[in-house]
Structure 1
């Protein structure tokens, strides 16, 4: 895996960049349009939105099945098929403008997104090692940001001329074509250690599992309730939400490589400490200060810390048996989604009591994450 002088020379790098761009277009496109489609077009309430968001996480909870699928499908081809599935889900959204229809299409596209993500992380950790790991993870995050910005600009322009359901169709078609093209490629390295084709749960990886569990909860607060706060409480339009997405991803594009280098320089524990300390302040800010401009600022700051999540996988790569990577990524992804399956529904119910409650609970989770991050130890 180190036979290439530069990580960019590795064929798997270009392959993953293409798929990461496709994933960003498909999922960010859906994420950008979802709340306005659900609230303005279909007229769903907070509980229904929370239910759909929980259904979205079910495939993430079931990603451990990827281990068994890899018995019959090569992992790089599995990643491409996952992207095709993501595209099909987007294609279907506009055809079923109802609560039940949105549940079905969300489940489909989420299956593609989550199975790609676990394959993406697995392939990255298999094909790159040492100090290249945080660098490559960060670069892929930057390309995700490029895809997000591209689809955001596209939606911002086209939303003035087309209805949301047609925009879903166009985005879905683009993603399907990118997935099918990738399926024809073969960037494999047969000299790498073969991966275990069974579930791997080891005591020495316990901290990796715990950090994934808490990271999943944090991600849901951002993806579900932070955006929902801006749309339902402050009534931001599609154009404004899209603009925020674009700003966030421009920041991520430039910030991610910096974070990757900082992980190598300062270590995973330091980066995670900064992330969780900052998140505690952000969540408390959401809950305590009722102001549209302040909430917008907190949303932008909230996004800044997403790049820091590469520290968890970098920490895992430094302690993992090379043959454990693929099954461990599947298990880690499943654990990441344990809270994600139930948290949106519970949060949606709590929201009906007070919109502040989910954010106070999130601040508590940030403190818990901070505690466990102090147990991270890696060799320099």
Structure 2
């Protein structure tokens, strides 16, 4: 068993909080990872798997359990489903941005807009990570996982993972448990072979973020460089010298609300329909037509609204913090709650609760945290 000396989780998480676990295991091979997880399951007790530590908010008290740190790496190239595609099977502990960089270097398109996202490949399907119009669900083919219900290793197609907006059957939502408890061992993506040549970009969201015209052609490398620069301006690229990046990324999810509730929010609040609006078509056999058309069906559509806009317009500006607190909103992006230097989890939780209360009081909407919370509550 690859057990190592336990260290405070504040040293292993990007938010820099967390007490010391009773036991720390580092698995560098798939066999080590499977064996470690099975042993922990057999023993019982508290445990969790740690990847890059970028989507975790861990409490100050010691964690009375086992932390399994996934350090597996490697990319295997496989044939794609078509001649112009390729599949890459990536080990769960592989750094996500290193994987993206490798796809760009090889001329494979499909994940380049997700450059700079921290964390590991195994964590990416858990919350269906995405940025600028690209999401894991668009390219993920399957995952290899260790299922807690059976203790067996199996390969599961992406269609069975419940991938939605920042969610999946694996996601530990605040106040709930995963639908399918499992540990991801590897993930396989199908990407398009495009090479190094410049080409027009199909996604309007990515074009808008990068200031591109509809017919403007750019290379994968150009996209990656400009996405990294854009994220860096928002403090969303890890930098050991920049406290604005000492965070768990976006701490609150963009809210998904009903279309009717979205209409109660100010017109200036950015809103994005979750599904295209399609005019219904009614077909009535001529012999059955009595001259009266039935009313169109009522559809309950959902709308995504900007959590950052809600926070700023609830009176909380970038850089906000309580007096003498070492936790604060990023000076670059209000969605990031940052550790300005040795902040405790209690200080960050206090700030998170205040943000929730202000937004709820102003707009009637309770923002939900995006990171997984361990040993801490809001």
Report the TM-score range of the alignment, normalised by the length of the smaller protein: under 0.3
Larger relative CO (CA 8 A, sep 6+): 1 or 2? Answer: 1
More strand by share: 2
**Could you tell me the TM-score, scaled by structure 2's length?**
0.27
Q: Which has the larger radius of gyration?
A: 2
More helix by share: 1
**Could you tell me the TM-score, scaled by structure 1's length?**
0.27
